[in-house]
Structure 1
């Protein structure tokens, strides 16, 4: 069996409509989540042996996962963010956890659990004390996507000796979370908020991997390719809407509009090529770890630039109508601009450029 991509494509208008209806009041996309779950999107990252497709956990799943995340991003960037976080958490357990932990993850996914990854610290960073019998947490996480809905967040926490550890929290009671971080303008449907873990008690098997695993390269940087895939879906949709709305207004023959359309297509295809390269390098075998991290970081910057260029071209091409809330373009460009705000872009570019100053970019198998 293979993932039902045709059914997902048919579902995209429904996901987009829900995203627009939910935006004003920042309502969580429950219906879209349920529909994606029925298609198997949330079990897709499980290894084949656990009943999944290996998307994100097996090398052959790289390009199918790219397609899945890109399509979901076309329908709803908020849903794409939630799915990407779910995949990310499962990937980290598969890479650094034990067989027993991965089996539990698979069982939880089959029972409807939503995974996520929350690492941004609040005023009180998350710390823990482990006495060998129990782990006690203290502190909070910010910018937690799906704060009231993720039931299995993978978080980072600092030990008394300064080590950073990953741990998977079983969280069936959302009362420790608040749904808002204070008026964020885009990605409102992702339910981004904060979560206070103070006083939460975990068993020792919640610890995933060894000290420092979360920051270990190339995995730490390589995982960004999945976010790139979601952002690419938003770029796709804006380019398509520019084309359609110009045609509807009989402005598509204007030479200046054709220049904008051409530049938007170039930006989209540039991002697409970088996303494919990043996926193949990150999920393949044999690449130097530095090559992997630097390639994905360049792809991240290329996608950010493409997205910002497309937003500007859409705004200039459609004029004030791109800022009217009844036009779906208005929401999507807010969502995409917010989604593209990833940390340390300047540092990322400088490090990646420095790495490849004296060596060639890798050419993975399957990349022209």
Structure 2
């Protein structure tokens, strides 16, 4: 049975309308999540034996997940961030957790649970210690997407010995949560905020994997391609709106505007090709050196960022002040994409990837069947 991509594509306009309606109040896209859950989006990366499709692994699965995330991002980048975080959590449990932990996660997904990955520490970093046969937490996480709606948070916590572990924390509404400091300019519908885990107690089996697994390569870098796929949807949507709005205003025949349209199309296609390469490399990563996988995805990450920034400039210059009016959907999309593209350590990412490929050739996973 194939994934219902036609149905997902058909609801993109509704996802976009919800995102625009929710933006002023920074409301969460509850209707969008419900529609995606009904389509099976939230269970696609689970193994087939656990009621999923195994998307994201293997050549076919990588391309399927890329298409899915791109379509969600095309409809709503904020919703795409929530879905990507959910999928990321499932992926980490599948990579590093036990068979029983993955099976329990699958049951939770089918029961309607929403997962997230929260790793950014606040002024009080999240700490863990073993106590009374369990685990006790102290501290907080910042920039936690879906902070009021995620029901299973995969978090990183440090021990007294300064080692890092992943923990899966059920969220029952008893923890202190608050919005992001000052409120984000874009991606407001993602519900990003702060969560205080102080005095939280967990059973021993809340620990996912071993010490240092979250930062273990190549998965740590390879997983970034899924965020690129979501961004790709936003880049494609803005490129389409540039063309459509210039045609509607009778300005598309201007040589200067045609040049902008052409450059935007080139940027969008470049972003797609780099994302595809990253997705394929990550999906068949066992065929490559660990550093090769990480470096390929890191180069792709920078390429997609650059393409997105180019499209933002072209859209704003091409549409002029109309791109800054709140009545135009472009204004929100520009804010959302600009915020979404702000991934950590871009300079370090680029230099590490360049250092590897100074002495190696790029892999060609696209040639594999």
TM-score (norm 1): 0.98
Asked if 1 retains the 8 angstrom alpha-carbon contact of 2:128 and 2:159, the reply is: yes
Aligned-partner Cα distance in 2 for 1:33–1:367: 34
**Change in CA separation of 1:342 and 1:107 when aligned onto 2, cut-off 3 Å:** same
**Change in CA separation of 1:128 and 1:69 when aligned onto 2, cut-off 3 Å:** same
Aligned-partner Cα distance in 2 for 1:209–1:160: 18
Asked if 1 retains the 8 angstrom alpha-carbon contact of 2:274 and 2:300, the reply is: yes
Task: Look up the match of 1:344.
Answer: 345
List 4+ stretches of structure 1 deviating above 6 A. none
Alignment deviations for residues 29-56 of structure 1 (CA, whole Å, 9 cap, x no partner): 1111111111110011111111101123
Cα distance, 1:171 vs structure 2: 1.0
Say how many residue pairs are matched: 368
Aligned-partner Cα distance in 1 for 2:177–2:69: 27
Task: Look up the match of 1:258.
Answer: 258
Task: Look up the match of 1:153.
Answer: 153
Aligned-partner Cα distance in 2 for 1:197–1:152: 13
Asked if 1 retains the 8 angstrom alpha-carbon contact of 2:234 and 2:333, the reply is: yes
Tell me, yes or no, if structure 1 residue 23 matches structure 2 residue 23.
yes
**Change in CA separation of 1:205 and 1:58 when aligned onto 2, cut-off 3 Å:** farther
Asked if 2 retains the 8 angstrom alpha-carbon contact of 1:127 and 1:159, the reply is: yes
Alignment deviations for residues 111-131 of structure 1 (CA, whole Å, 9 cap, x no partner): 000001000000000001113
SS at match of 1:42: helix
Task: Look up the match of 2:213.
Answer: 213
Alignment deviations for residues 231-257 of structure 1 (CA, whole Å, 9 cap, x no partner): 000000000000100000111111110
Deviates more, 1:282-291 or 1:10-19: 282-291
**Change in CA separation of 1:205 and 1:59 when aligned onto 2, cut-off 3 Å:** farther
Structure 1 residue runs of 5 or longer lacking an equivalent are none
Asked if 2 retains the 8 angstrom alpha-carbon contact of 1:46 and 1:57, the reply is: no
Task: Look up the match of 2:306.
Answer: 305
Cα distance, 1:174 vs structure 2: 5.4
SS at match of 1:82: helix
Asked if 1 retains the 8 angstrom alpha-carbon contact of 2:152 and 2:168, the reply is: yes
Asked if 2 retains the 8 angstrom alpha-carbon contact of 1:118 and 1:156, the reply is: yes
Kindly report which structure 2 residues correspond to 1:20-169, keeping only aligned pairs within 5 A, or say none: 20-56=20-56, 60-131=60-131, 133-169=133-169
Cα distance, 1:367 vs structure 2: 6.2
SS at match of 1:24: helix
Alignment deviations for residues 155-197 of structure 1 (CA, whole Å, 9 cap, x no partner): 0000111110001011121542113332210000000000000
Aligned-partner Cα distance in 1 for 2:132–2:210: 15
SS at match of 2:129: strand
Deviates more, 1:127-136 or 1:233-242: 127-136
Cα distance, 1:132 vs structure 2: 6.4
Task: Look up the match of 2:292.
Answer: 291
TM-score (norm 2): 0.98
Tell me, yes or no, if structure 1 residue 198 matches structure 2 residue 198.
yes
Asked if 2 retains the 8 angstrom alpha-carbon contact of 1:47 and 1:58, the reply is: no
**Change in CA separation of 1:367 and 1:340 when aligned onto 2, cut-off 3 Å:** farther
Asked if 2 retains the 8 angstrom alpha-carbon contact of 1:224 and 1:300, the reply is: yes
Aligned-partner Cα distance in 2 for 1:145–1:57: 25
Task: Look up the match of 1:361.
Answer: 362
Asked if 2 retains the 8 angstrom alpha-carbon contact of 1:141 and 1:194, the reply is: yes
Aligned-partner Cα distance in 2 for 1:108–1:239: 38
Alignment deviations for residues 84-119 of structure 1 (CA, whole Å, 9 cap, x no partner): 000000000000000000000000000000001000
